[in-house]
Structure 1
Amino acid sequence: MKTTQFIVFILIITTIFGLSAKVNSETDSCSSSLNLQNANLPFDAASLHCLSVWDAHNYILRYSQTSSNIWTFVLSTPAVNSFIAIGFSSNGQMVGSSAIVGWVSSTERTIKQYFLGGTSANLVEPDKGNLQVASNFSLITSQSSRLYLGFQLETSQPQTRLLYSVGPDGFLPVAPNYRLIEHSDKFSTSINYITGQSTSSSQSPYSKLRKSHGVLNMLGWGILLIIGVLYVDLS
């Protein structure tokens, strides 16, 4: 009986921690204010517009026109052991676009601009691109199971076709060439900076349903395992 009780206890704890990890990765939302610890922001965080831009991966974008020719962007994503990226494209395609890519390793935090000249790794070039990145603000940090990638662009009007991607788990670009390999997932949107609306032809109306379904699956399997152990013990 003690063995059964111990197994039930472990299953309950595992289920709770699994749900807790899921919730923690979603602690940031547009209903909450941006609160970056130990970050000296050269702008008013309360002035940033906020959009949920990629529901499948819980990507949240905050942006604002800080001055006549400076635009501020802060991308918030679940913490991953890989790179995250936001690209700016003239036609919605990755080839020919420029992207800001960031990652956090055990030894460094890195932000780089990449030019996506083609689909092969050698055509994705670090420290190149068409974006005029302002030098007074750049940020990549991990906080509360989230990654925050922040930067400013010098432009009167950023491109409206935005691309998002996440790298394969366990891969981080390394010196000296900082090459990227193919992302594990990508997403493209079109944004209206004035109205704050973001749309995508590839967005599924069931993306939020899939996320809820995943949480219910975790909870359901945990309960079924507990019932199974109790049934075996009583039979």
Structure 2
Amino acid sequence: MKISLIATFFFFFFLGFSSLVKSQTDSCTSTLNLTGIPFLTTSLSCQSVWKSQDFILRYEQIEPSLWNFILSAPNTNSYVAIGFSDDGKMVGSSSIVGWVPAAGKGVIKQYYLGGTSPKDCLPDKGALKVANETILSQSSRLYLAFRLNTDQPKPRLIYAVGPKGKLPSSSNYLLSEHQSETSRLLDFGTGESQCRPWFSKPDQTGWSNQKHQEPSDD
């Protein structure tokens, strides 16, 4: 009887653990079942753009100058960000940053990354023409969605995740230094994503810090 109870306990323990792991993952073979995204998600292209942080990027060109994006990432009680850069460096780029407090409404803002300190990364600034910005928390993941008005998105993309438990304050929305970041080149035609192919030295400027940079995990 005791063996039977122990076996039953472990069965339900591993079943629950398996369900938890499944709820925290996303993949390009998954079907999005989200309520609150302001556009259709059925025909989005999909790429695993940062494997070590489990960042998934979905996108679609819906008109000649209109693109939909959804960035999916684990919800670690931190902000997540996607930036569009001319040269792959953070300084001078514009980024969409979002987070969802444990008890509260999600926040999504555009930032202009003008320098190396938090005061140089200004909220509600930037060169991106965005609309329909939304961030959702579902099954232990964040879904950062927005519509971008441009003929062709800049292919040099920057991704970042903030420090756990240090969300921007509603008093000024300044960003804490990120926990980790990476730069990728995304070919929007073929869908191929590559790690930092356009320069040989790590980016040591802007919102980034060399010790926090993510090595290639392609």
Task: Select the structure that is richer in helix.
Answer: 1
Deviation of residue 18 (structure 1)? 5.3
1:112 and 1:125 mapped to 2: Cα distance?
Answer: 10
Q: Measure the CA separation in 2 of the matches of 1:120 and 1:14.
A: 45
- Kindly report structure 1 stretches of 4+ aligned residues shifted beyond 4 Å: 6-20
In the alignment, what sits opposite 1:128?
125
Mark the runs of 5 or more structure 2 residues left unpaired by the alignment: 197-214
The corresponding residue for 2:34 is: 36
Q: For the residues of structure 2 that align with 1:35 and 1:182, how far apart are their CA atoms?
A: 32
Question: Helix, strand or coil: the match of 1:64?
Answer: strand
In the alignment, structure 1 segments of 5+ residues that lack a partner are 206-235
Residue equivalent to 2:20 = 21
Counterpart mapping for 1:200-211 below 5 A: 200-201=195-196, 202-204=215-217
* TM score, norm. by length of structure 2: 0.82
- Shift, 1:90, TM fit: 0.5
- Percent sequence identity is 47
Aligned length: 198
Letter in 2 for 1:30: C
Deviation, 1:107, is 1.6
| Equivalent in 82, 100, 125 of residue 78 of structure 2 | 82
- The amino acid across from 1:115 in the alignment is Y
Is 1:168 the counterpart of 2:181? The answer is: no
The CA distance in 1 between the partners of 2:122 and 2:139, in whole Å, is 31
Pair 1:142 & 2:137 matched = yes
Task: Note if contact 2:51-2:217 (Cα within 8 Å) is conserved in structure 1.
Answer: no
**Equivalences for residues 2-21 of structure 1 within 5 A:** 20-21=19-20
How far is the alpha carbon of 1:16 from its aligned partner?
Answer: 6.3
Q: Pick from 58, 63, 82 the counterpart of residue 59 of structure 2.
A: 63
Residue 149 of structure 2 corresponds to 154
Residues 37, 145 of structure 2: 8 Å contact kept: no
Structure-1 separation of matches of 2:17 and 2:96:
31
Match among 117, 132, 144 for residue 114 of structure 2: 117
SS at match of 2:42: helix
Measure how far apart 1:174 and its partner are. 1.5
**Do 2:118 and 2:176's aligned partners in 1 also have CA atoms closer than 8 Å?**
yes
State the shift of 1:13 in Å: 7.3
Q: Highest CA radius of gyration, 1 or 2?
A: 1
User: Displacement, 1:175?
Assistant: 1.8
**Shift in Å, 1:162:** 0.5
Residue type of the alignment partner of 2:216 = Q
Alpha-carbon distance in 2 for matches of 1:11, 1:172: 37
Tell me the C-alpha RMSD between the 2 structures: 2.3
Counterpart-to-counterpart distance in 1, 2:147 and 2:65 = 10
**Counterpart Cα distance in 2 of 1:12 and 1:31:** 27
